[in-house]
Chains A and B, each alone.
Chain A
Amino acid sequence: MVGIRTRLAITLVALVALTVAAIGVGVYAFVESSLRERMLADARQQADFNLSVLLPAEVPRPTDSTTFAASGLPEAFALRGDVDTIADFGDGNPYTPGRLLGGLNELSPELRAIVGNGELGFAWQTLQDEPVLVVGGRQGGPPDLYFVFSAAAVETALAQLRIGLLAAGLLAVLVALATAGLIARRILRPVDEAVLAARRIAAGDLTARVPEGGRDEFGRWAAEFNRMAGTLESTVGRLESAQQQNRRFVADVSHELRTPLTALVAEASLIEAGMDGLSPDGRRAAELLVADVRRLRTLVDELMEVSRFDADAERVSLEPVDLGRVVATVVAARLPTAAVALPARPVVVDTEPRRLDRILGNLVDNARDHAPGSPVEVSLTRTAAGAVIVVADRGPGVARDDLPHVFDRFYKADPSRTGGSSGLGLAIAAEHAALLGATLRARPRPGGGLIFALTLPVTQPLPGGEGADMAVRDDDRESQPAPGSVT
């Protein structure tokens, strides 16, 4: 689809070019014919005079080129006007002035036939590479005289006219192009403004409007556009405030739950410590109570965590962290059976250990809960993209269509399995990852299972880490973390 601008320009330029071409051709034809006619009339008159007055006056009439040359006729002819004469005596030895030598053979047979019939003939042609007008005739009998007039002046004038017309035509086309551009811009300015406004709205600025004012179709359209944008803005505003109320409600509810939950958790922990004295049924009930209180606690904790994200109340404070150490401690605390692969050299990045702990903890918990009994592998690698921590399980995995939803709140791959997880763990991990400037991705694992990859940006040179850092600042040989620090 060609744009309006282009179509307008093409149309206007084509119109102008056609008009200019028609005028140019007309002017040229008129000028050319009048120039040639005038010259032809002069030439005819001169030829007539030469044939009917000067030639008969020469007695005896020259019969060959020698006598013709001696007669002084060529000079006499030239006296009336600048003309060269070719005289054909029919004997194969014509009179020809030096610079037109062999010129007789360049004359057209048609012209020579007309002249042979005793009529006056003419032809525009080139002779010895020069534009000329040849007028030929005879008086009674031979010789046939051809008067050669230089047409250089006419041709030069016509050439100049051609150049002039071409230049004028080009100028007209250029002016047409510029005019088309101007007109198009005038016409299309509202369209451009509408494009800008629509783009701003698409980018989320719902206050963008198109300037109104015109009474034309665009003006009406702009008013409608703005009405639509206004509706959109107020609707989105209502939705946002509703969502905000919703979030505040979640935050309030989880906060209100906190006090009774604190009592519950403390009470359950005391009951757990004193279960030995209970009857088997009472003991089982107590176990269930303790487990359910823990589940409730996790849920409320995670709801509060989520509502803090929604309130944008999160502040990140980065510090250098040895990733391998965090990976090892998280796995040791939550899933000691998992296989851990760490690089030989420590990988140290600027990040927040508490959030990293939450992310990895939730990933490992997720692998443990959704792929129970299957081998889980956790690895840390350093790539061009950053430091990558991978948690891979051999569980049932997730259908490809559901993969984009694993980080949704309360998403559960298998609704029939409720387990101990709240369905918020991966959503929370993703939120923390975003706060750390990291990316968290899930993908199916070849051969079954899921792979979660956390890519942390690396902002400082990797090799060395703490040790190298301190070696520069501290000449002490003991510049290692104090003994007993390895947990």
Chain B
Amino acid sequence: MDAHILLVEDDPSIREVTALGLRAAGFTVSTAEDGVDGLERWRADRPDLLLLDVMLPRMDGLEVCRAIRHESTIPIVMLTARADTIDVVVGLESGADDYVRKPFEMPELVARVRAALRRRTGGLGPDDANGAEPAISLGDLDIDLAGRTVERDGRDIPLTRTEFDLLVELARHPGQVFTRDVLLDHVWGYDYLGDSRLVDVAVGRLRAKVEPDPSNPALVLTVRGAGYKAARPAA
């Protein structure tokens, strides 16, 4: 694997050892030491994935995340020192796909990075591989699996990779209830007890983009006490 990762981290030791570990795992790594620098590097290098520290000089990670989200659906993994609810939720709401708590061991970080990149390359299961199902629909949404685009009435709706995968996972089996754990496993690649807030925040962001009325969802439904499901087509 030869994906290009941009690492934005202000502490030199952490930056150096993380870059070292990522390169050892086979990635191409470029680094930046503050938010403004990070944004410039991102424009210059066009990496495949962004590893973004939250606490950064000049421009913090959340702002960088929001700025990039205006232009790109690149996978963003936050590095957060605190697992506090507010920090994590704000981070996810500003557009991050996943987060890794500091301190982290390199294998753990590499696994999260790989999981985030896998989404990009479409590791969605056997259905994709044979290409028998190039497009599905959910309500009035047309989902092109091969092109990874979502359209309503011919107009493109830009989704991040996580949001797209979440939508596809649900839309493939309309009416079937997915627990948060199952979604964490299938979409984020967690095999044990990930943070269910990832799912809730991503569902919220997805709804904001695809629902005609996000406060009264008609496509991505909450099943109280269980999880989420996609609406079944009206008979």
Contact = CB atoms under 8 A, between A and B. Distances in A.
B35 to A, nearest CB: 17
A263 B193 contact: no
Interface string B182-201: 10011000011101100000
A478 B172 CA distance: 13
Nearest to B18: A266
B176 A476 contact: yes
B44 interface: no
A270 B17 contact: yes
Contact of A482 (B24, B103, B106, B173): B173
A374 interface: no
A319 interface: yes
- Among B17, B81, B191, B226, chain A packs the most CB atoms within 10 A around the CB of B226
Contacts of B178: 481-482
Contact of B14 (A263, A270, A308, A333): A263
A215 B186 CA distance: 80
B223 interface: yes
Interface string A220-260: 00000000000000000000000000000000000100111
B157 to A, nearest CB: 25
Contact of A270 (B20, B181, B182): B20
A320 B223 CA distance: 12
Contacts of A260: 13
Given A262-B14, A484-B182, A470 B223 contact: yes
B131 interface: no
Interface in B179-235: 179, 181-182, 185-186, 191-193, 195-196, 223-227, 229, 232
Contacts of B17: 263, 266-267, 270
A263 B13 contact: yes
Interface string A342-366: 0000000000011001000000000
Contacts of A485: 179, 181-182, 185
A258 B226 contact: no
A319 B196 contact: yes
Interface string B157-170: 00000000000000
B221 to A, nearest CB: 10
A337 interface: no
A266 B177 contact: no
Given A262-B103, A269-B106, A478 B175 contact: yes
A108 B106 CA distance: 128
A469 B185 contact: no
Interface in A468-487: 469-470, 473-474, 476, 478-482, 484-485, 487
Contacts of A269: 21, 105-108
Contacts of B14: 259, 262-263, 266
A297 B196 contact: no
A313 B81 CA distance: 16
A296 B208 CA distance: 42
A329 B192 contact: yes
A266 B79 CA distance: 13
28 contacts: A258-B81, A259-B11, A259-B81, A262-B104, A263-B14, A266-B21, A266-B103, A266-B104, A266-B105, A266-B109, A269-B21, A269-B106, A315-B85, A319-B225, A354-B193, A469-B224, A469-B225, A473-B224, A474-B177, A474-B229, A476-B175, A476-B232, A480-B177, A481-B182, A482-B176, A482-B178, A487-B181, A487-B192
Interface of A: 255, 258-270, 273, 297, 308, 313, 315, 317, 319-320, 329, 333, 353-354, 357, 466, 469-470, 473-474, 476, 478-482, 484-485, 487
